[in-house]
A and B are shown apart, each in its own frame.
Chain A
Amino acid sequence: MVKAIEAQGIPAVHICTIVPISQTVGANRILPGVAIPYPTGNPYLTRNEEVAMRKKMLLTALKALSENIDSQTIFD
């Protein structure tokens, strides 16, 4: 889906755990998720810690959307 959206000129970042699949299918902006059942979560943290972690992840995601890239890039 991410590819089809980016193809229309809207930058899209894919947060996913299984990065190799996203790479193979061809997403351009990839951000590794935490784990399959909770890509933007972590049940082992307290709620506040979790939200803070999410914000940090999203800031990286925003960075991914702001960059001009010319090929597949994994943002860590």
Chain B
Amino acid sequence: MNKIKYVHYLNQFYGQIGGEDKADQTPFIVPNSVGPGKEIEKLLGDEGEIVATIICGDTYYGDNLQEATDTIIGLLKGLDFDCFIAGPAFNAGRYGMACGSISEAVYKNFNKPAVTSMYHENPGSEIFNKEIYILKSGKSAVSMRKDIDKLVNFSKRLVRDEYIGFPDEEEYIPQGRRINVQMEKTGAVRAVDMLIKKIKGMDFETELPMPVFDRVRPAKGLETISKCTIALVTSGGIVPQGNPDKIESANASKFGKYNIDNVNDFIENEYITVHGGYDPVYALKDPDRVLPLDALKQLELDGFIGKVFKYFYSTVGNTTAVSSAKRFGEEIGQDLRNNNVDGVILTST
């Protein structure tokens, strides 16, 4: 079997060029293992070797994230390697950020397995856990031996494309993906089991921890609304007859943007709803019941607002994932800014 060719990333300290005094070292490459890398090679034995080590100062990386990443990617171009490992970074924050960042970049640029290791409270573990694996290490170098042992074994499995289990058993930072798994007991039996434990005051584990939704700072209120352009947006699925953009009735993958420059009212049969999650009878008869164009245009005529924006945006909220909705909101928001729209009325069903 071929020896697995590793590239190892280290900071200035573990790269043995100095301490804080060398924290601004720019990235460079050496064609062999350094420091903890030597221990890694011992553990690998015939199975692998470190063909290159990248060393970079923690402060330099932190202050020059983009350049440092680009430089290192440049150093690796053309190099023949199978796997990238970084650290372990333990609880060193800047080091952890660098390890996470460069591991993710290498994975994205070269499509090779990349894995790093750090303490679960290291800030890097919250930011870079999504695309690459971050193994959980001890808090300090006291656990170095154990942690590089884990790093070596895990990396070999990644290279061999072996199945990687769940975060608890494999001791890595969860990547944030909910995966369907078949259990032995039905949901009903698991629920009764859980309730009995809860009533008795015993320990139990919820299968779905409640998420925490972030908050957004309110925008400034509109001062002279009679001069403002207001746009209409809906997740109630109001679209022109025929659904020209084929917006799905559930879990929408897109939103539509429609011209209403010469439209003062959503009329039955000219506009329809494609949202599959509510009784459509009322909206089909009069789509203004879901997106109040007629009333808004009247307010424009009466001078309460400056203008109704000439486009409206529509998608379907039925089972649509929150991440999709966020993306639509960002794109629509961007478009509205480019068009100098001042305020938005968004309706949901």
| A interface residues (Cβ-Cβ under 8 A, vs B) | 1-18, 22, 24-26, 28-29, 33, 36-43, 47, 50-51, 54-55, 57-59, 61-62, 65-71
Interface status of B247 (Cβ within 8 A of chain A) = no
Show 10 residue pairs from A and B whose CB-CB distance is below 8 angstroms, ordered by the A residue: A1-B329, A1-B346, A4-B325, A4-B326, A4-B333, A26-B215, A28-B219, A54-B288, A65-B225, A65-B228
Known interface pairs A4-B330, A41-B286, A62-B299. Does A15 touch B218 (Cβ–Cβ under 8 Å)?
Answer: no
Q: Which of A6, A43, A50, A66 contacts B218 (CB 8 A)?
A: A6
The residue of chain A having its C-beta at the shortest distance from the C-beta of B214 within the complex is A26
Describe B's contact surface by its main secondary structure: mixed
Give B250 Cβ to nearest chain A Cβ, in Å: 15
Report chain A residues within 8 Å CB of B343. Answer: 10-13, 62, 65
Instruction: Report if A9-B236 is in contact (Cβ < 8 Å); known contacts: A1-B332, A38-B289, A58-B296.
Output: no
Are B295 and A5 neighbours in the complex by a CB distance under 8 Å?
no
Q: Is the CB of B326 within 8 A of A43?
A: no
Q: Is the CB of B305 within 8 A of A16?
A: no
Quick one: which of B216, B230, B290, B330 contacts A38, CB cutoff 8 A? B290
Residues of B within 8 A of A55 (CB): 295, 298-299
Q: Is there a chain A Cβ closer than 8 Å to B41's Cβ?
A: no
B-chain residues with CB within 8 Å of residue A6 when the two chains form the complex: 216, 218-219
Contact with A along B251-266 (1 / 0, CB 8 A): 0000000000000000
Residue of B nearest to A8 (CB): B333
List A contacts of B290 (CB < 8 A): 37-41
B291 and A40 contact, CB distance less than 8 A: yes
In the assembled complex, which residues on chain B have CB atoms less than 8 Å from the CB atom of A2?
329, 344, 346
B111 within 8 A of A: no
* Pair B337/A8 contact, Cβ less than 8 Å: yes
B81 at the interface (CB under 8 A from A): no
Which residues from B are CB-within-8-Å of A18? 348
Residues of A within 8 A of B329 (CB): 1-5
Q: How far is the CA of A18 from the CA of B235 in the complex (A)?
A: 13
Q: Which residue of B lies closest to A52 (CB)?
A: B295
Contacting residues, chain A, for B344 (C-beta < 8 A): 2, 5, 10-13, 65
- Contact between A37 and B282 (Cβ–Cβ < 8 Å)? yes
Residues of B in contact, count (CB < 8 Å): 59
Chain A neighbourhood of B233, CB < 8 A: 1, 5, 12
| Contact partners of A17 in chain B: CB under 8 A | 348-349
Give CA–CA (A6, B348) in the complex, Å: 16
Q: 8 other contacts beyond A9-B219, A65-B343, with CB at 8 A cut-off? A: A2-B344, A4-B328, A11-B221, A12-B346, A26-B213, A39-B347, A39-B348, A67-B221
Given contacts A10-B341, A51-B295, A54-B288, whether A37 and B225 have CB atoms under 8 Å apart is: no
- A36–B276 Cα distance when bound, in Å, is 12
- Given A40-B291, A41-B289, CB of A11 within 8 Å of CB of B299: no
Chain A residues with Cβ below 8 Å from B298 are 51, 55
Q: Kindly list chain A residues whose C-beta atoms are within 8 Å of the C-beta of B36.
A: none
Complex Cα distance, B226 from A65, in Å, reads: 12
B294 touches A59 (CB 8 A): no
Distance, CA A70 to CA B133, complexed state (A): 39
B288 pairs with A41, CB closer than 8 A = yes
* Cα of A42 to Cα of B292 in the assembled complex, Å: 12
Q: How far is the CA of A4 from the CA of B200 in the complex (A)?
A: 43
Taking the closest CB of chain A, its distance from the CB of B13, in whole angstroms, is 39
